[in-house]
């Protein structure tokens, strides 16, 4: 018998089969379970709890997606504001200033100048 891993979700097919079994139990007459968790009342309470938890999960997923979208938009707004600030610093103080360097740009004078390369003549 395989090991049951209760940390994984049940497949939808299994849950659907369980719901069908619960609905089919209503047609069984003189059902007298020995276990208290297998009584029709306990089964219906367990089913209602499952539905409530699935609804809560769905609501939390929607809330999480909305929060994720809001955080992503805030990150982009912040990034665009920083880019605008950097361009304003570069425009106000110049591309070779210490202010431009302090906001993350490299000074224009620190770039290497291009060197000429000697062209090889074809014979």
Rounded Cα distance, 95 and 105, in Å? 8
Rounded distance between C-alpha atoms, residue 34 and residue 18, angstroms: 19
d(CA 68, CA 73): 9
Domain boundaries, the chain: 12-99
Tens digit of pLDDT per residue, the chain (123 long)? 778 888 999 999 999 999 999 999 989 988 999 999 999 999 999 999 999 999 999 999 999 999 999 999 999 999 999 999 999 999 999 988 999 999 988 888 888 787 888 777 776
């Amino acid at each position: 018998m395989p090991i049951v891993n209760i940390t994984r979700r049940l497949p939808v097919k299994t849950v659907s089969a369980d719901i069908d079994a619960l609905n089919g139990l209503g047609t069984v007459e003189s059902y007298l379970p020995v276990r208290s968790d297998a009584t029709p009342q306990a089964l219906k309470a367990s089913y209602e709890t499952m539905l409530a938890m699935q609804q809560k999960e769905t609501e939390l997923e929607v809330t999480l997606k909305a929060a994720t979208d809001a955080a992503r938009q805030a990150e982009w707004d912040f990034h665009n504001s920083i880019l605008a600030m950097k361009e304003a610093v570069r425009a106000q103080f110049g591309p070779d200033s210490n202010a431009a360097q302090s906001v993350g740009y490299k000074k224009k004078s620190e770039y290497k100048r291009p060197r000429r390369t000697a062209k090889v003549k074809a014979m």
